[in-house]
Structure 1
Amino acid sequence: MPRNKSIIMLSVGHACVDVYQGAVASLVPFFVAERAYSYAVVSGIVLAASLLSSVAQPVFGALTDRWAMPWLLPVSTVLGGLGIALSGVSGSYAWTLAFVAVSGIGVAAYHPESARVARRVSEGSHSAMAWFSLGGNLGFATAPLMVGAVVATGGLRLTPLLVVPALVGSVLCLPVLRALGGPVRGGSGAAVATGTDDVASFVKLSLAVVCRSIVFIGLSTFISLYVQQRPGGSTAAGTAALFVLYVGGAVGSVLGGQLANRWDRVTVARWSYLVTVAAVAGIVCVPGPAIYVFVALTSVGLYVPFSLQVTLGQDYLPTRTGTASGITLGLTVSIGGLVTPLIGGVAHATSLRMALAPLILMPALSWLLFRTLPEPTAPGAASRRPEPRPGPRPGRRRVHSADS
């Protein structure tokens, strides 16, 4: 199977899984309206899904480092969709919490193995990995549209229809796994990566990802309210700002892969975080419609390093790529999310602008951490270098055609 076709199928499958990460928060208004859940109760549902998914990802990563589990891709995709599909069927809060937890486990099981498979299919191409990451970002962003289209028309009783993306995603990954066949069945245990784990660099990378996560989750949670509260703000203006934040992420994901083909990943990430410092400062300090420009720059700056950080983590831990993928895609994101209540507390005590101001420091810390990181050599990169083209053989004249 051609590489581009495989990456497209994996990217669409990634979207079909990550749509369920965004679906949990999108269902909150319907839980409040139909079941009279309090904000504290529904926040427990969201927290259960996000924490369970993020913390479990490194566990699944460690398991896939030890045993080959290609079957996790279709099974986890179905599991992620099934949990959300059943969450609206029962009126019991306990069952709702359990079904959402099942979906979180499915999402957690998917990412480490899918990141490994995507890396093999990409053959080291940063652009291909960027397209794979783009699928997940688009899936997350389209979740509110999907939930709104289904549940708003017939209520929570129609949530079983939300299983459709999971069925599509599980089917799409099967041809890719069949095409890879031997290498995937061998898992990381059979295809032992060469190189030595650079744990110190991986820890620094993880801290940089945590800082990035704090900025993005903080802004995605409060940017809509912040824009509404500014002079001339409105609900539509806040929604537009959130849309720009998501669309900029899609652009940044693809741009990051393109830039990494020209410069090394550490350099690209370092400069993107430096741009993000100025962009976040613009959001907090610059008045007027220019905020949309700074929101877009912030989103692009935060997402340019997104897929690059995943492959960097895999190269820093070449013998534990599943664990590396689980941490960079999961655990570090959940730690960033835990800071959001602190931002809300500061906003309640002072103002939303004062609460968002410390976010300017986060990309600056990521930039400082990346200044200490080396650019690793991907395992097997040497074997992927094209052979030099031989010149004319000695003693033979090179004949030029009339078209040359």
Structure 2
Amino acid sequence: MRPAAVVALIVVSHTTIDAYTAFLPPLLPRIMDNLGLSITLAATLSTVLSISTALPQPAFGYLADRFGRRAFLAAGPIVGGVFISLLGMAPTYFVLLLLLTVGGLGSAAFHPPGASLVARAGDGRGSGVRMSVFSFGGAAGFALGPISAVAIVGWLGLAGLWVAMIPGVLLGTALWFGAKGRTRVGTGTPPPPPLEVLRKLKGPLGLVFGISVVGSFAQKAVLTFIPIIAHRAGESETAGAVVLSIYLGAQGLGTLASGFLTDRFNRQHLLAAISVLAVPTHILAFTLAPASPAAIVMAVCAGFLNMALLPPIVVVAQEILPSGTAVSSGIVMGLAWAVGTLAIPVVGGFADAFGPVAATAWSMPLLLLGALFAMRPSLRPYCRAQ
């Protein structure tokens, strides 16, 4: 298979696997009713899925840098698709936790080698645009996931969600056969040892990691609490899913625009500006009347800005660790996303006590930490436009 075809297959697979991980949020109100869950327990489901899709990414990235990327690419859509699509058959809360955990591991295996192969930061100018194409695939999947899940459940019931695994199985099989001999990139030197990678986190890699953490927190807060806020305001399950899809669809536009800007402007200034602008848009997306025109406009702006952080973050990380592009991608995507998600149950606890609108709105100024991290002097060598 030609390299361009392999990249296209990876991007489509990214769309599919991220659609699977977006199945849960719009179904949370239904699952809460079926299993008798509090907001805190429902938020914990979202956290478990997010951590399992994120925390193992550095380890999978290191293994992919060392042993090759093909098996991880192929396993991702298959494992993620099969286990997440079975969530409607879970008879208990703990079985549901297990399905989400294993399904999330499939997503974790896919992302670092996928980002490494598509972005290729070591190839020089254009890495931002290439990363934006990969990110756009994921954002499109996140946007399609909620409405797809609600449509399938509306047609076949919650137990019928299993049919959604079919595209993942087909794409994983195609990646295994199509990506043969096309999955090695980088400088030709071995990836850095794990302890050296950890030491890098004390320097500039730790700063972009921190920016990604707060951005991830904001996104997971939207995915977890917007459907709950809409449901409590008397809106339908479909209305909550539509708002999520609009937010996530705008993320696709944000990553495309940011990829272009990443290659042309100072990345420190870009990351700082996006972080500052994201605060008021996210607050308004939570506090305006759910599914109202004004709230939808703010959801578009918030989604656009949130995912605009990703291309410069990943490109800078890959330039900091050029011999370990998959593991660096895993750190600023996976590990950072996992850490950002840890605060979601805490916000869920405050939501039980004070209401989900107040709890989410008061947590959004954490995004300003991203601007502070972005302007640190140690990032300057990696933030100039190419």
Alignment TM-score > 0.5, same fold: yes
Instruction: Tell me the TM-score range normalised by the shorter chain.
Output: 0.7 to 0.9
2:22 alignment partner in structure 1: 22
User: Counterparts of 1:82 and 1:237 in 2: how far apart (Å)?
Assistant: 27
User: Counterparts of 1:353 and 1:145 in 2: how far apart (Å)?
Assistant: 23
2:312 alignment partner in structure 1: 308
2:366 alignment partner in structure 1: 362
Q: 1:76 to 1:370 in 2, by over 3 A?
A: same
1:138 alignment partner in structure 2: 140
2:343 alignment partner in structure 1: 339
Report the alpha carbon displacement of residue 14 of structure 1 after superposing the two structures with TM.
0.5
Q: 1:31 to 1:302 in 2, by over 3 A?
A: closer
2:272 alignment partner in structure 1: 270
Q: Which amino acid aligns with 1:296?
A: V
Larger deviation, residues 334-343 vs 298-307: 334-343
1:388 alignment partner in structure 2: none
User: Counterparts of 1:64 and 1:17 in 2: how far apart (Å)?
Assistant: 18
CA contact (8 A) 1:266 1:375 kept: no
CA contact (8 A) 1:7 1:128 kept: no
1:10 alignment partner in structure 2: 10
The number of residues matched between the two structures is 371
User: Counterparts of 1:241 and 1:69 in 2: how far apart (Å)?
Assistant: 35
Q: Which amino acid aligns with 2:9?
A: M
1:37 alignment partner in structure 2: 35
1:167 alignment partner in structure 2: 169
The 3-state SS of whatever aligns with 2:56 is helix
1:220 partnered with 2:223: yes
Report the alpha carbon displacement of residue 51 of structure 1 after superposing the two structures with TM.
2.2
2:115 alignment partner in structure 1: 115
Deviations 1:52-110 (A, max 9, x none): 22222222122223322322111222111122344455746665544333212211111
Q: Which amino acid aligns with 2:17?
A: V
User: Counterparts of 2:373 and 2:342 in 1: how far apart (Å)?
Assistant: 21
Q: 1:375 to 1:275 in 2, by over 3 A?
A: farther
Report the alpha carbon displacement of residue 371 of structure 1 after superposing the two structures with TM.
0.7
Structure with bigger gyration radius: 1
User: Counterparts of 1:290 and 1:305 in 2: how far apart (Å)?
Assistant: 24
Q: 1:304 to 1:46 in 2, by over 3 A?
A: closer
The 3-state SS of whatever aligns with 1:39 is coil
Q: 1:179 to 1:267 in 2, by over 3 A?
A: farther
Question: Pairwise CA RMSD of aligned residues?
Answer: 3.6
Deviations 1:329-350 (A, max 9, x none): 2221122222223323334444
1:390 alignment partner in structure 2: none
Report the alpha carbon displacement of residue 234 of structure 1 after superposing the two structures with TM.
5.1
CA contact (8 A) 1:16 1:168 kept: no
Report the alpha carbon displacement of residue 221 of structure 1 after superposing the two structures with TM.
2.8
Q: 1:21 to 1:377 in 2, by over 3 A?
A: same
Q: 1:112 to 1:285 in 2, by over 3 A?
A: closer
Report the alpha carbon displacement of residue 284 of structure 1 after superposing the two structures with TM.
6.8
2:179 alignment partner in structure 1: 177
Q: Which amino acid aligns with 1:62?
A: Y
Q: 1:258 to 1:24 in 2, by over 3 A?
A: same
For 1:311-322, list aligned pairs within 5 A.
Answer: 311-322=315-326
Q: Which amino acid aligns with 1:332?
A: A
1:70 alignment partner in structure 2: 70
- Indicate which of 202, 205, 219 corresponds to 1:202: 205
For 1:187-198, list aligned pairs within 5 A.
Answer: 190-192=188-190, 198=200
CA contact (8 A) 1:74 1:170 kept: yes
User: Counterparts of 2:147 and 2:243 in 1: how far apart (Å)?
Assistant: 16
User: Counterparts of 1:10 and 1:201 in 2: how far apart (Å)?
Assistant: 29
2:80 alignment partner in structure 1: 80
Deviations 1:172-198 (A, max 9, x none): 535762463xxx34x66845589x975
User: Counterparts of 2:164 and 2:79 in 1: how far apart (Å)?
Assistant: 12
CA contact (8 A) 1:257 1:308 kept: yes
Q: 1:244 to 1:80 in 2, by over 3 A?
A: closer
User: Counterparts of 1:272 and 1:248 in 2: how far apart (Å)?
Assistant: 14
1:400 alignment partner in structure 2: none
TM-score by length of 2: 0.80
Which structure ranks higher in relative contact order (CA pairs < 8 Å, sequence separation ≥ 6)?
Answer: 2
Larger deviation, residues 4-13 vs 287-296: 287-296
Report the alpha carbon displacement of residue 276 of structure 1 after superposing the two structures with TM.
1.8
Larger deviation, residues 110-119 vs 314-323: 314-323
User: Counterparts of 2:178 and 2:272 in 1: how far apart (Å)?
Assistant: 34
CA contact (8 A) 1:66 1:189 kept: no
CA contact (8 A) 1:6 1:121 kept: no
Deviations 1:97-150 (A, max 9, x none): 443332122111111111111123994521121011111122122223333333
Larger deviation, residues 200-209 vs 284-293: 284-293
CA contact (8 A) 2:89 2:158 kept: yes
Larger deviation, residues 38-47 vs 206-215: 38-47
Q: Which amino acid aligns with 1:59?
A: A
Larger deviation, residues 58-67 vs 88-97: 88-97
TM-score by length of 1: 0.77
